């Protein structure tokens, strides 16, 4: 799948798309459905609950999503797979699957 859905209202059972376009792959950062993913697999939530971290596996990146705005940005990795330590996009990852 290429999008992230999350429930904003547990009591009403409403589910909305927080980030990503349905059935569109890519690695665009941006707000809501303007951002794209390629096989996001795992999620982690920041301690304060304001940020989701996503292993965007086939884009070889770790991405963050602000839960209040739906803004997605690349935290680490680039499109080229590899095993290079570095800060942010200076790092190269190979199919990250866990956080």
The per-residue pLDDT for range 36-95, each reduced to its tens digit, is: 999 999 999 999 999 999 999 999 999 999 999 999 999 999 999 999 999 999 999 999
Going by C-beta distance under 8 Å and a sequence separation of 6 or more, which residues neighbour residue 54? 4, 37, 40, 42, 43, 62, 63, 64, 65, 99
For residues 99 and 46, which has the higher predicted lDDT (pLDDT)?
46
The per-residue pLDDT for range 4-21, each reduced to its tens digit, is: 665 555 567 777 788 988
């Amino acid at each position: 799948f290429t999008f992230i859905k999350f429930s904003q209202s547990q009591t009403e059972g409403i589910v909305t798309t927080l980030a990503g376009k349905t059935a569109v792959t890519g690695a665009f950062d941006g707000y809501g459905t303007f951002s794209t993913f390629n096989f996001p697999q795992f999620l982690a939530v920041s301690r304060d609950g304001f940020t989701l971290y996503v292993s965007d596996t086939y884009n070889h990146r770790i991405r963050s999503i602000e839960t209040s705005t739906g803004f997605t940005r690349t935290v680490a990795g680039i499109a080229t797979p590899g095993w290079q330590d570095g800060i942010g996009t200076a790092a190269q990852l190979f199919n990250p699957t866990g956080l």
